[in-house]
Amino acid sequence: MKKRIVIFASGNGTNAKKIIEYFQSSETAEVIQVIASKKDAKVLEVADSHHIASEFIPKEGFQNPEKLIEKLQSQKVDLIVLAGFLLKIPPAFVEAFPNKIINIHPALLPKFGGKGMYGKFVHEAVAASEEKETGITIHYVNEQYDEGAIIFQTAVPVAKNDTPEQIAKKVQHLEHQHFPKVIETLLSTPNE
């Protein structure tokens, strides 16, 4: 039986799109639903265009997550993937899905992580700090922002005159290249 993936996202859904497309012809897993935390998130259109169930759940639905937890448990979800999801996952969610929630961060954690560090803010901080490299970190989600156990990291060089936008493009390339493959590896590895 195929493993079941649900994607949580808040924005354009470029990572969600790559994940959906990657698993469309997979024998091991499938994306069964996309959940967005913003009503106008483009990721909802991405899901619809790929015939994937999608749903907008406002912030309150995540602050009082009992109904959503129950629903996902009844769907026998194997992995919740945060792909540009901007809300903090509540402790009840982490407890309900231990080591079944992963996130991708657009930097090499523990650098440039924590509350408020997402998207362009990360790339601006990397550029301002004159780092020689940046990259992506795929990690398990725990009760703290960006502090869960690291699953995978890979780096890309940062040139002295790279703008935050240029850094963002390099990082996004890494995300699209590696995120679906890491998900597949996780789902094909037996749980301890």
- What single DSSP character describes residue 167? H
Distance (Å) of CA 88 to CA 44, 62, 114, 117, 141: 20, 9, 10, 12, 10
pLDDT, tens digit, 9 for 90 and up, residues 125-136: 999 999 999 999
The residue with tokens 């020689």 is 132
- The full set of domain ranges for the chain reads 3-188
Percent of the chain with pLDDT over 90: 91
Q: In the chain, at which residue ranges do the beta strands (DSSP E only) sit? A: 3-9, 29-36, 53-56, 79-82, 101-105, 133-140, 150-157
What pLDDT, on a 0 to 100 scale, did the predictor assign at position 73? 96
Closest alpha carbon to 164 in 128, 115, 137:
128
pLDDT 10s digits, 136-171: 999 999 988 899 999 999 999 999 999 999 999 999
The third-level CATH classification (topology) of the domain covering 3-188 is: Rossmann fold (3.40.50)
Which position has the token pair 């899901």? 47
Instruction: Respond yes or no: is residue 105 known to be catalytic.
Output: yes
Which of 37, 138, 137 has the alpha carbon at shortest distance from 89?
Answer: 37
Average pLDDT over the chain, rounded to whole?
95
Q: Is 81 helix (H, G, I), strand (E, B) or coil?
A: strand
State the DSSP code for 154: E
Q: Catalytic one among 105, 123, 139, 178?
A: 105
Q: At what angle do helices 164-188 and 119-128 cross, to 10 degrees?
A: 120
Contact 139, 148 (CB under 8 A): yes
Q: What is the pLDDT of residues 15-54, one digit of tens each?
A: 999 999 999 999 999 999 999 999 999 999 999 999 999 9
Distances (CA, A) of 168 to 107, 122, 163: 10, 9, 9
